[in-house]
Amino acid sequence: MDNSSQIKWLLHDATCSFNKLSDTAKLDAELLMCHVLDCNRTYLFTWPDKTLDEAQLAEFKQVCAKRALGHPIAHIVGYREFWSLNLKVSPATLIPRPDTETLVEQALLLMQEHKDKPFLGLDLGTGTGAIALSLASELKTWEWIAADFVPEAVTLAQENAKLNQINNCKVIQSDWFENIPNTKFNLIVSNPPYIDEADSHLSQGDVRFEPLSALTAGDSGLSDIKIILSQAKQYLHDGGLVMIEHGNTQGKEVRAIFCQNGYSNVNTFKDLSANERITVGYF
């Protein structure tokens, strides 16, 4: 009997073919199988001997071929889970990263005593809407504005708000603060582009399929952070908070930019790999 179209052998072969390109080869294969079978991972472990029909087999081969060429899993399946949300992704912007959940987590901790207030939050460079929509889903009495420069990202974040039934977040197109209403916010968050334009990692792995507009910034990756921090002050209530995600080696420089711009209680939080990742300051 030919067992080659059984779940377990297809996963085995796909894992082997992804081993060179991915640190998560087994998980990648499982996620692609779940996508094709429209099931969760538990199903795969419960029914390893099930066989795929012809159409499923053809689709699995097709998505595996894409992954073998380096396409990110999120682009192939069309979504990524972030916080408690399921977010549509596209090549127009960054695929949300687990490290960015650190920003969401810290924001909720720092805003704990204000969680039921009628506060206003702003997310600059929202991409899929990951940060704003996660915070809007948790802080239900708050109103959010989420902005991105790229029109396709704005549409995507709007779709994600609808898909996740989030009604307290408005997504607009804006070049940083250009189209932001002249009002005061209690919290401004941003995960801006911060990779140095000459960084060799840009030609490796999944980032090859993400747009440079979401990844790189001039001035050793700090130019957008400088713009945001110099202008955010005008848009903050007294005692308002700014939170910026940055590269793991940029903590010292980013703290200095916060201090030069007059923010106080400047502090950096570490990500899941214990790297400096989120710097915050009050105005």
Ligand X SMILES: C[S@@+](CC[C@H](N)C(=O)[O-])C[C@H]1O[C@@H](n2cnc3c(N)ncnc32)[C@H](O)[C@@H]1O
The response to whether 127 counts as a known ligand-binding position is: yes
128 is in an annotated binding site: yes
Q: How many residues does the chain have?
A: 283
268 annotated to bind ligand: no
Q: CA neighbours within 13 Å on the CB side: how many for 254?
A: 29
The least CB distance from residue 11 to ligand X, in Å, is: 29
Report whether 91 contacts 209 (CB < 8 A). yes
Please indicate if the annotation marks 100 as binding a ligand: no
Taking a C-beta distance cutoff of 8 angstroms, is the pair 210, 159 a contact?
no
Q: How far is the CB of 251 from ligand X (least distance, A)?
A: 17
Q: Is 17 exposed, middle or buried (0-12, 13-18, 19+ CB in 10 A)?
A: middle
Contact (Cβ atoms closer than 8 angstroms) between residue 169 and residue 133: yes
> 126 a known binding residue?
yes
Tokens of 39: 């099931």
Q: Which is nearer to ligand X, 64 or 87 (CB)?
A: 87
List Cα–Cα distances, 92 to 82, 128, 157, 172, in angstroms: 17, 9, 11, 15
**78 a known binding residue?**
no
Q: Is residue 91 annotated as involved in ligand binding? A: no
Minimum CB distance to ligand X smaller for 121 or for 193: 193
CA distance 26 to 14: 8
Compare residues 83 and 119 and give the one whose CB is closer to ligand X.
83
Q: How far is the CB of 202 from ligand X (least distance, A)?
A: 13
CB of 227 to ligand X, least distance (A): 8
C-beta neighbour count of 41 within 10 angstroms:
12
Distance from C-alpha of 163 to C-alpha of 196, rounded to nearest angstrom: 34
Structure tokens at 62: 């097709």
CB of 136 to ligand X, least distance (A): 13
Contacting positions for ligand X (CB under 6 A): 93-94, 96, 100, 124-128, 130-131, 147-150, 153, 174-176, 191-193, 213-214
Is the CB of 61 or the CB of 208 nearer to ligand X?
A: 208
Q: Residue 94 or residue 280: which is nearer to ligand X going by CB? A: 94
Binding-site residue set for substrate:
191-194
Q: Which residues are annotated as a binding site for S-adenosyl-L-methionine?
A: 125-129, 148, 176, 191
Question: Which residue ranges make up the annotated binding site?
Answer: 125-129, 148, 176, 191-194
